[in-house]
Structures are given as structure tokens and as C-alpha cells.
Amino acid sequence: MEPQLVIDALSARPGGAAVLALRGPRIAVVGGFVRDVLLGRDPREVDLVVEGDVRALAEQIGGNVTHHAAFLASHVSRDGLELELTQARRERYPHPGALPLVEPASLEEDLPRRDFTVNALAVTLDDAQLRAPDRALEDLGARRLRVFHDRSFIDDPTRVLRLARYSARLGFVVDHNTARLASEASLDTVSGARIAGELRLMLEEPDPVVPLATVATRLQLSVDPSLVARALALAPADAERSLTILAAVAREAPADWLDSLELTARERAVIRSAEHAPLLAAAAVAARRPSELRDALRDVPVEAVAIAGALGASEEARRWLGELRHVKLEIGGDDLLAAGVPAGPELGARLERTLRRKLDGEIAAGREAELASALGSGA
């Protein structure tokens, strides 16, 4: 395998020249970037490992720099390049599932601390030499995922979720012993916030349904690939793809489990709405007028509407998302005040009734027709 390919690929990245111009302690590009280049794939991220002061090196690159002192790491954003730098380190887990305690070490000590052998490849920048722990190149050639030691999933059970993610994305087989260890691992020692973080990474995969299905039982998810596909087909441009998928697979999960994941307020709101997707679908199908469809769906997140559509109200969801939710009045409260309607609840009631008439095609388009409707005796 030709390590110069890795150097060339780094040089071609935005900001890559600044990385290759670095001077100082031994520096290596490591992990997924090396793996993907050697596989002929387009790398998704750039990670460097440094024998020495990672903060100084990050500042040398410039751009927006964020330091994470507890993990001897820095993040750099410059010229379109997102770069993770870590000081070469060894790590110790005070108890299963805990974040590691780290201390400086050599590159050779750093590589075997990683999750899987194929993610522990490195190319040093000064001499373009490939550094690989035992079995790493063998596993890369065999398209195989293998952990370094039998305590790997005990020390960090989130590696079980990463195993599903990498296996699906790369199409790699899982080493027999690694599969056994993963099946015996428990996520009970891991914080909900860390599990949610790994779940979000999984949702950003090109096809997240495959890894989600692999870990569905562990995460108490209900993964129906057909439902997800139908929901995504209905989801409008302003829907979040990952959140649509999350709500579709988590809508039947136990509330206490979801609460433990420390989800964002928006994530919780969409999942809660999706819990009622069958009822939303029934109400949408039962609507006989556009204004009634608005009654059923007006306050529902678009992601949850797409899921309701996937559960049997596809035409109604498509009409609401693509057309009716965008219908607005051309008049407002100021127009009614100017026409003599007193301030108060009656103002809003007149506007609401006029909008319903507009949706149902009972008034002509335009300000004059709307104003006449809002001011009419029937209002």
C-alpha cells in the first residue's frame, strides 16, 4: 500500500497545504482518512496525531481553534478544512463506560488505543511512512473490523454503535471474536448524552437505516425501512432528514429511555408528535375540507407530518406540506383596525374565519375579497 497516496490526498484537500507545511514534533495523519484513501474511498474527515504540544500546532495552523485540554485535543476550522488534532496519548478507563483519562505517549502507543484495527493506520507527514499496528493491514485487506483487545467494548461500550456504523458504511465483515464481544456488551454504563451523540452520527450516515436496524434492540428502536423511506419521500425541503428518521424509529420507544438520552428540545418535540402519528393520519384522512386538514396538522412539526403521511395519509400530508400550509392572508390586524374593528379577540377571530374561507375556496383571491369577508356581517 502506497502511503504517498495519503499525502497527495491531504494536499488536495482545502487547507491541506497548511497542514503539510507544519513544522515541529512528529506529526501523522491517522484513522479514517488513511483507511479511506487506501481503500480508494473519498475520506470524510481529517485527523492528525502529534507527538508534542498539540495546542501550539493548532495555533500554528490558524483559523478558528478550539482546545479540549482534558483530552489533549484541539479542533481547527480553516479554509473549508475541519481538522481534529490530538496529542499522541495512552488512556485509562477508571470504570466501564467512563470517559478515558489520558496522558502523553508516543505514536506507537497511541495507535492501539483506537476502536478498530483499520482505524489505527497512520502516515507520518515528514517521511510519508505508513505506521500500522499488528493485523491492521491484514484486516484492511480482508475488509474486516476487529477490536484490539477483549475489554474494548467494556471500556467503551459506544464502540458497539460505531461497529454497526462502520460495518454498514464500509461494507466490512466483523471478526468473529469481535462480534461475540459486541453481543455480550452492555450500554448500561454509558451516559445517555454519549449514546445520543453516537446515534446522531449514525443518523448522518448515507444509509442510516442499516446500522440502526443492527442496534435497534439495544436502543429500543422500531426500525421499519419501508416506513422511513415513505416518510423521507414525503418530507419537505425544510424538514431535517436525520430528525425525520429519528422520529420514525423512536416514536414507539419507552419515554424513560428517550428521557435518558438527553435529547434536544426540538428532537423531543418531533418524537413526541410522531408518537401520535397514527392518530394524525386518521384525522388527516377524515378531513373533508382544506380548513379541516389545517386543523389536524397546523401545529405539527413537518417531520411528524411526513411520518403520519407514511402511515396512511400520504395524499393529505403531501397537500398540506406542499400547498396548504403556505396559504396566508394578504390582510392583517392593522387592516381591520383601520376599518373600524375594535382591538380584542374579535380581531383574531375574523382573520381566522377569513383564512378558513380562503383555504376552502369560498372567497376570491386578493386583499379586497379578504377584507370584505373579514368585515362582512357573516364574520
Residues 173 and 231 in one domain: no
Verify that 354 and 308 share a domain, yes or no.
no
Q: What is the pLDDT of residue 19?
A: 85
pLDDT beyond 70 at 295: yes
Contacts of 198-203 with C-beta under 8 Å, sequence gap 24+, read: 198/158, 198/161, 198/162, 198/165, 199/161, 199/246, 199/261, 200/242, 201/165, 202/161, 202/164, 202/165, 203/242, 203/243, 203/245, 203/246
- Cα-trace Rg, the chain: 27
Residues 59, 65 contacting (CB under 8 angstroms): yes
Are 70 and 31 part of one and the same domain? Answer: yes
Whether residues 233 and 186 share a domain: the answer is: no
Last residue of a domain, one of 86, 113, 136: 136
Is 124's pLDDT higher than 50?
yes
End-to-end CA distance of the chain: 78
* pTM more than 0.85: yes
Residue 379's pLDDT band (cuts 50, 70, 90): very low
pLDDT confidence of residue 218: 94
* Across 136-157, average pLDDT: 96
Mean pLDDT of all residues in 262-281: 96
Burial of 224: CB neighbours in 10 Å, binned 0-12, 13-18, 19+: middle
Domain boundary among 113, 136, 159: 136
Q: Are residues 104 and 214 in the same domain?
A: no
Residues 301 and 340 in one domain: no
Contact in structure between 350 and 379 (CB atoms under 8 Å): yes
User: 80-94, 257-271, 331-345: which has the minimum mean pLDDT?
Assistant: 80-94
Answer yes or no: do 37 and 122 share one domain.
yes
Please tell me whether residues 11 and 126 are part of one structural domain: yes
Q: For residue 123, give the 3-state DSSP assignment.
A: strand
Q: Which of 176, 191, 219 is the last residue of a domain?
A: 219
Can you give the CATH number for the domain in which 190 is found?
Answer: 1.10.110.30
Q: What is the mean pLDDT of residues 29-55?
A: 92
pLDDT for 268 beyond 90: yes
Strand 81-87 vs strand 46-50: parallel, antiparallel, or unpaired?
A: parallel
Q: Kind of pairing, strands 144-145 and 173-174?
A: parallel
Same domain, 184 and 276: no
Q: With H, G, I as helix, E, B as strand and everything else as coil, classify residue 238.
A: coil
The domain of 197 spans 142-219
Residues 131, 162 within the same domain: no
Q: Please tell me the chain's helix, strand, coil percentages from 3-state DSSP, rounded to the nearest 5.
A: 50, 10, 35
Q: Are 10 and 87 in the same domain?
A: yes
For residues 131 and 154, membership in a common domain is answered with: no
Q: Give the pLDDT of residue 1.
A: 63
Number of domains comprising the chain: 4
64-99 residue pLDDT tens:
888 888 888 889 888 788 889 999 999 889 988 888
